[in-house]
């Protein structure tokens, strides 16, 4: 697809933000006052900033409130509801904890659960797409959740937890690359099933138009894929594997932690770009792609 920068930023930043909020709701780290305020500020800035940037790709952002209505069937709607609920509950928890020195554990726990649920619903928006076999797999929610928890733990200074979940993310990401490259063919999608034309060798003779269209720009877009292999290695090694090794082998001070955060966020941005740029949509078959 054509990866919209707003979507890459949203899923990466909000994933980190909700990951951090998950730990803050569980009182990890156990801090108070201005230190806690700073932690919550970063958590809310990332998650709310991410949510706001996601509205930039809408045709009608002013109607975004309507997206809260279809929780019965739509994962996007569920995501919106979970996000708003998580922010409200944790907002109240933070208010009480910072300004009234009262940590209501139950409130924090509910907020943490809602934060993780938000990340899960985000991942399900992509996982539900049968039209993109690469996404339509259980590894997608596992990847989103492990990245969010790992990155959140890193920001919350929980180095051991961060190392563990980034290890899971590394393995999941490697598996997702490996399995994702095969899935389109394995599912049996081809120009023959797309057109029902079975008898003989089949090829696109002429596309429907001389120019381009929304579908081609949005879903069949191919630019930048030539660097995909290099980006995969860079993202996997520097964004996930190296931080994992550092977190699990060293006593991490502030400077090293800062470096790991930069490496990790840069790597996840690259990986998230790939997540979208490498998505092969079955509609491409009609345009002679993915054959």
Partner 1 sequence: MTQLPGPTPKKLGLVIDLDTCVGCHACVVSCKGWNTENYGAPLSDQDAYGANPSGTFLNRVHSYEIAPKDAPAQLVHFPKSCLHCEDAPCVTVCPTGASYKRADDGIVLVNEDACIGCGLCAWACPYGAREMDMDAGVMKKCTLCVDRIYNENLPEEDREPACVRTCPANARHFGDFADPESNVSHLVAERGGIDLMAEQGTKPVNKYLPPRPKTDAQPEAEIDVLAPLLSPVATEAHGFLGWLDKTLDKLPGGAT
Q: What count of other Cβ atoms lies within 10 Å of the Cβ of residue 99?
A: 10
Please tell me the distance from the alpha carbon of residue 228 to that of residue 222, in angstroms, as a whole number: 11
State which of residues 30, 100, 186, 211 lies at the interface with partner 1 (CB under 8 A). Answer: 211
Q: Mark the segment that binds partner 1 (CB under 8 A) among 29-37, 92-100, 167-175, 277-285.
A: 277-285
Closer of 198 and 251 to partner 1 (Cβ): 198
Q: Mark the segment that binds partner 1 (CB under 8 A) among 99-107, 153-161, 196-204, 226-234.
A: 196-204
Please tell me the distance from the alpha carbon of residue 67 to that of residue 3, in angstroms, as a whole number: 22
164, 245 contact by CB (below 8 A): no
The least CB distance from residue 67 to partner 1, in Å, is 4
The least CB distance from residue 187 to partner 1, in Å, is 7
- Write out the binding residues for partner 1, residues 74-113 only, by CB under 8 A: 74-77, 80
- DSSP state, residue 241: I
Contact mark string toward partner 1, 172..191, x via CB under 8 A: ---------------xxx-x
Residue 282, judged by CB atoms within 10 A of its CB (0-12, 13-18, 19+), counts as: buried
Largest CA distance in the chain: 75
Please tell me the distance from the alpha carbon of residue 286 to that of residue 247, in angstroms, as a whole number: 47
State which of residues 30, 106, 186, 208 lies at the interface with partner 1 (CB under 8 A). Answer: 208
Q: Quick one: tokens of 126?
A: 């992509």
**Which residues of this chain interact with partner 1, rule CB under 8 A?**
57-61, 63-64, 66-70, 72-77, 80, 125, 128-132, 187-189, 191, 193-209, 211-215, 218-219, 281-283, 286-287
């Amino acid at each position: 697809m054509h990866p919209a920068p707003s979507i890459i930023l949203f899923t990466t930043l909000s994933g980190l933000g909700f990951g951090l909020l998950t730990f803050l709701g569980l009182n990890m780290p156990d801090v108070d006052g201005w230190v806690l305020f700073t932690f919550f500020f970063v958590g809310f800035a990332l998650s709310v900033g991410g949510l706001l940037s996601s509205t930039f790709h809408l045709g009608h952002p002013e109607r975004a409130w309507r997206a809260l209505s279809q929780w019965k069937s739509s994962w996007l709607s569920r995501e919106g509801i979970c996000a708003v609920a998580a922010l409200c509950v944790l907002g109240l928890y933070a208010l009480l904890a910072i300004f009234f020195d009262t940590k209501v554990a139950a409130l924090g726990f509910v907020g943490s659960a809602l934060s993780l649920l938000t990340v899960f619903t985000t991942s399900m928006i992509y996982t539900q797409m049968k039209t993109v076999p690469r996404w339509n797999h259980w590894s997608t929610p596992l990847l989103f959740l492990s990245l969010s928890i790992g990155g959140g733990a890193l920001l919350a200074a929980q180095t051991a937890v961060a190392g563990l979940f980034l290890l899971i993310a590394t393995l999941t990401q490697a598996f997702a690359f490996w399995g994702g490259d095969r899935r389109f063919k394995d599912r049996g999608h081809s120009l023959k099933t797309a057109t029902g034309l079975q008898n003989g060798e089949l090829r696109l003779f002429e596309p429907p138009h001389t120019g381009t269209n929304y579908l081609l720009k949005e879903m069949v877009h191919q630019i930048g894929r030539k660097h995909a292999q290099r980006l995969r290695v860079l993202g996997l090694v520097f964004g996930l594997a190296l931080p994992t090794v550092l977190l699990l082998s060293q006593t991490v001070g502030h400077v090293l932690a800062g470096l790991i955060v930069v490496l990790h966020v840069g790597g996840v941005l690259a990986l998230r770009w790939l997540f979208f740029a490498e998505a092969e949509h079955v509609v491409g078959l009609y345009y002679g792609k993915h054959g």
